[in-house]
Each structure stands twice: as C-alpha cells, then as structure tokens.
Amino acid sequence: MSGRKETALDLAKFVDKGVQVKLTGGRQVSGTLKGYDQLLNLVLDEAIEFLRDPDDPLKTTDQTRRLGLIVCRGTAVMLVSPTDGTDEIANPFIQPEGA
Amino acid sequence: MSTGPGLESLVDQTISVITNDGRNIVGILKGFDQATNIILDESHERVYSTKEGVQQLVLGLYIIRGDNISVVGELDEELDANLDLSKLRAHPLKPVIH
Amino acid sequence: MLPLSLLKTALGHPMLVELKNGETYNGHLVNCDTWMNIHLREVICTSKDGDRFWRMPECYIRGNTIKYLRVPDEVIDKVQEETNKSRSDRKPPGVGRGRGRGREDGSNTQSKGIGRGSNDNKVPGGGRGRGGHGGRGGGRGGGRGRGA
C-alpha cells in the first residue's frame, strides 16, 4: 500500500539545485529548492518569477522579478522541472508536411 | 460493484466524448474509473467548422481525465456510418467556462 | 480496465500529455501514482499555441492539471496480459476480509466519505487555440488551430 501511494517523484535529488515551477493560474517561478514536503509545498531560495504578457497572461516573457525566499503552496504546484538542462529550442517536430 | 447507470454498459462500444475544451472525440471505450477518467482506443477527433466539412484527426489510444469530460455518449455506429461528414458543417463548440 | 492500470503499463513508453492550460509535454513516462501525478524524462514542452518549445531532462506533473494523455497503441495489449496474470496470482475470491459490521437501523445511510477529492484550484478557462502538438511519428501534424 505505502509503496503504491507514494508520490511519483522523489524531490530529494533536486534539493539545492535549481528548479522551475509552474503554478495553477499561470505563474512561473524558478529558484533553488531548499526544502519540500509530501504535499509538494516547496521552499525556494533566490526565487524569481517570470512575468507574463499583460495581453495574454498564459504567456510568460523573459522579464523577471526577484522574489527571494518563498514557499510555493503544494496545491498550486502544477509542474516541477530542473532548471539545469532546460532550454528553449526550435521546433523539434518539423517533419515533411503532407508526406 | 454498482456503478448505477454508469459507463459499464458502454465498454468496448464506440462512444463520443465532448471535452471541456469543446473537442469531440470518438473512440472505443476500453475502461473508466470512479473519477470518470476514461480509456479510448482507436480514437479520433472530429473538428467541426462552418467553412468546410468535418475533419477527422487520428488520435489513437487516449486516457482522458474525468475533470476534462463534459459528455459521454453512445454512438450508433450504423447511423454514424451513414453520415457524410465531408458535407457536415457546424460551429465548433466553445470551451466550458468554469 | 482502469485508466490508471493502463498508465502504469505505459511506464517507460513515450507519451504525450496535454495540460489543462493547453501546454503539451512529450516524454518517456518514468513513474506515475494513484493521483495520476506523472514523472517524465527527456521531455519536450510545447506552448499552448504551439509556437515555442522547450527541452527539459525531466519533469514532474501534478495529476489534476492533466487534460489527457496520449499513449502508444501497443500499450493497451500489454495491460491485458498483466491483468490476466495478476488475476491468476490473486487470492481466490472469498479469502478477503469482510467489509466490517453493517448497520441494522439504517439511520446512518451516509457514508463517511473516504474519497479524498481534490482540494486544488482549477485552472480557469481551459485552452482554446490549440496549436501544433507536433505528433509523434506520423500522428498529427503541426498547428491546427480552430480558426474561429
């Protein structure tokens, strides 16, 4: 039982590493993961928020603001990924259209 | 297990699903759970338009989260086979607003 | 067949996940749990409009933000095998423990509500314009959009 109920990800390996977090509602922050709990509440240090396009709040821009030390409420966390190795890339799905 | 007038009777039948974002997905119901998450096999999406006929996009095997499902309906395959989708025009559905 | 059994069977397989906000994630399923939380590896994230792409080594996605998962067709055949196997492995019926004492008076018909229910906020307004998800293999092509 306990084995199955466990969460799908062990955040331990991300501690003291940079993570990127997407929150419900569209906010996106990144920072150094200092701690977490099983409810996915996260402590991020030196966090920055990626500001969003005022015309389309679902889009983030490259503008940021500094948040410092923050707690992300677990219920609002949608997605966690390591900052390291995360890069914007060109369309990788280009394939011969209509072929 | 009592599922009441549930989806059990539709398993292995072709069903039509309307999702909260206004898509219409047709496929074979292979399974479901308490949360109305469903498995659709050999599924395709029907994209409606007022300008051209219905486009069918092959999707394959899908798990659709119950949260995102508005309507699940039985599909009469015979009736459906007699539809000429290329002549059918319709407004696309708007997404559900919460 | 339960959707979560299918998902579990899909461990190690590539899949496409669309979130309620319209973003899609293509990656290999590393792990999943009973809340449909998933852990993907070698992920490509596509923005809602299908115009921006990110590569990430891995990511963790909370189950309740998922709209749907697209799983390779062959996975469904593997589930069949597994359920059959686990069925034969299972204890014969009748060995399980009882369901506890019943109530005779019927005054308390309400169940205690064991369901956990999600206490999370929903994402407001699901995505409309769905751009190219960039299909795996031949599947679906680039940007469709709905041309309102």
List chains adjacent to chain A, taking adjacency as at least 3 C-beta pairs closer than 8 Å. Answer: C
Is the confidence at residue C133, as pLDDT, over 80?
no
* Contact check, Cβ <8 Å, B63/C68: yes
C100 token code pair: 């506890």
Q: Is C111 on the interface with A (CB under 8 A)?
A: no
Is the confidence at residue C44, as pLDDT, over 70?
yes
pLDDT for the residue numbered B98: 77
Do chain C and B touch: 3 or more Cβ pairs under 8 angstroms? Answer: yes
- CA C78 to chain CA centroid, Å, is 17
CA angle, C87 then C90 then C94, to 5°: 110
Nearest to C80 by CA among B41, B36, B59, A8: B41
Q: How far is residue A74's CA from residue A88's CA, in Å, rounded to a whole number? A: 26
Show Cβ contacts of residue A78 under 8 Å, excluding neighbours closer than 6 positions.
Answer: A22, A23, A24, C19, C21, C61, C62, C65, C123
Q: Do residues B23 and C68 lie in contact, with contact meaning Cβ atoms separated by under 8 Å? A: no
Q: Which amino acid is at A79?
A: L
Chain C residues in contact with chain B using a Cβ-Cβ cutoff of 8 Å: 1-7, 20, 36, 63-64, 66-73, 75-76, 115, 122, 124-128, 130, 139-140, 144, 146-148
C89 pLDDT band (50/70/90 cuts)?
A: low
CA distances from B31 to A57, B35, C5, C129 (A): 36, 12, 10, 29
Mean pLDDT, chain B, as a whole number? 92
Is the confidence at residue A89, as pLDDT, over 70?
yes
* Contact check, Cβ <8 Å, A40/C62: yes
B30 pLDDT band (50/70/90 cuts)?
A: very high
Nearest to C128 among B63, B67, B95 (CB): B95
C19 token code pair: 């979130």
The ipTM is 0.88
Is the confidence at residue C121, as pLDDT, over 60?
no
A42 token code pair: 């996260």
Q: Do residues A85 and A76 lie in contact, with contact meaning Cβ atoms separated by under 8 Å? A: no
Is the confidence at residue B3, as pLDDT, over 70?
no
Nearest to C53 among A59, A82, A90 (CB): A90
Q: How far is residue A21's CA from residue A12's CA, in Å, rounded to a whole number? A: 15
Q: How far is residue C71's CA from residue C15's CA, in Å, rounded to a whole number? A: 5
Identify the residue whose tokens are 């229910």: C117
DSSP assignment letter at A4: H
Nearest CA distance, C73 vs chain A (angstrom): 20
* Contact check, Cβ <8 Å, C121/A95: no
pLDDT for the residue numbered C117: 43
Average pLDDT over residues B58-72: 96
Torsion angle of the four alpha carbons C25, C30, C33, C36, in this order, in degrees rounded to the nearest 10: 10
B47 token code pair: 């994209």
Q: Do residues C120 and A76 lie in contact, with contact meaning Cβ atoms separated by under 8 Å? A: yes
CA angle, C80 then C82 then C87, to 5°: 100
B33 token code pair: 């759970």
Longest pairwise C-alpha distance within chain C: 63
Residue C128: HSE in the Cβ half-sphere, 13 Å Cα cutoff: 11
List chains adjacent to chain B, taking adjacency as at least 3 C-beta pairs closer than 8 Å. Answer: C
pLDDT for the residue numbered A97: 53
